Structure formats: C-alpha cells, structure tokens
Chains A and B, each alone.
Chain A
C-alpha cells in the first residue's frame, strides 16, 4: 500500500520516515525556538523593568535636583536677607562706635587741658 511504510524497527508509519525525522527535528527546533523567544521575552521584560526603574530614579533625582536648585536659590536669597540684617547691624554698631570715638576724643581733649593746667601750676610753683 502506497503511503504506508515500515521503518527499521518495523513500526508502521504513515509518513515517510525521512519526512518524519525532519518533522521531529522541526518540532524540536520549534521547541528550542519557543524557549529562545521566551527567554528573550524575559530579558526584554527585565530590560523594560530596569528602564522603568531607571526612569523612576531619574524622575526622583530630577525632583531632587529641582528641589536643591530651589533651595540653593532661596539660600542665596536668605543669604541676602541675612546680609542685609548684618549690614544694618554693622551700621548700628558703627554709629555706636562713632559715638564712643567722639566721647573718647572729648575726654582726651579734657586730659590735655588738665595737663596744661597742671604744667602751668608746676611752672608757677
């Protein structure tokens, strides 16, 4: 009968043993391919996961960076206010020291005057 063949082990085959072998081979190869695709899929998934995580991290870092930038900006403003505060304090202090300098000067002048009186008295004595 055409189409029915026996192999070496005397098993009945509808297909030509050669084709059967080929088919088996194909099946195996298909299985391998499937594995490969699955593993590829996994790798890609991993990759996407990693990329997403990276994205999140980047986003986080970005926010952080914006925050820091704002902070730095405000810091410089803070510094300005602090500077102006200190500046006004310096002005107050310098006014105070100027007052004291004038007072000191007047006392020195008095000292000179008194010394003059003393000298004059010593001359007379």
Chain B
C-alpha cells in the first residue's frame, strides 16, 4: 500500500529539567507552570537554578532578591544566591 501524506500537525512536548512534582518554594506553583504573574509557561517565565542547588521561578526569586531584607540570600539555605549565567 502506498500512502501519500498531504498534511500533518506536529505536536511537541516539553518540560523543565526539574522533578515533575516539584514546586517553586516561593509561589508554591509547579515549575512547569508559571509564576503567579505570568500566563504562559516556557522561556517567558523560566526557572533559575542557584549554585546552591535550589531552584525557583526567575520572577519569584527576583522579587525576593530585590527586597532589602533578603540580603541577597537564597530563601532555602540562606547562602548567597548565585546562579550560572547561560
């Protein structure tokens, strides 16, 4: 049998390289979802992996680091929050 494909719909699936049941410790939403202020998951609302091994939505941890009381520390382990520039 010979089949000629006339048209097709490609479907792709993605997820962050993070445990699927893991939530952002700040907003408590799953990493594959967005921070509370964004609507679309993905590159517009990325997760940020700290050198200390703790990850958060970029927007969430950014809000925290900008507060004076954070003193630039990771909310989990209170070490200086640093991340690998990509």
Q: Is A bound to B?
A: no
Q: Which residues of B contact A (CB under 8 A)?
A: none
